[in-house]
Amino acid sequence: MACGACDLQSIAGLEEALTTAAWKHPKVVLDASGITFADSSLLNLLIMAHRAGALRITAPRPQLQRLLGLTGLDAVLYVRATVEEAAAC
How many domains is the chain partitioned into structurally? 1
Which DSSP string corresponds to 33-73? TEEEEE-HHHHHHHHHHHHHSEEEEE---HHHHHHHHHHTG
pLDDT at position 23: 84
Range of the domain at 50: 3-88
10-27 pLDDT per residue, tens: 999 999 999 888 888 889
φ/ψ of 25, rounded to 5, equals -130, 140
Q: Tell me: pLDDT of 80 over 90.
A: yes
**CATH number, residue 32:** 3.30.750.24
Q: Tell me: pLDDT of 53 over 80.
A: no
**Please, what is the average pLDDT of the chain?**
92
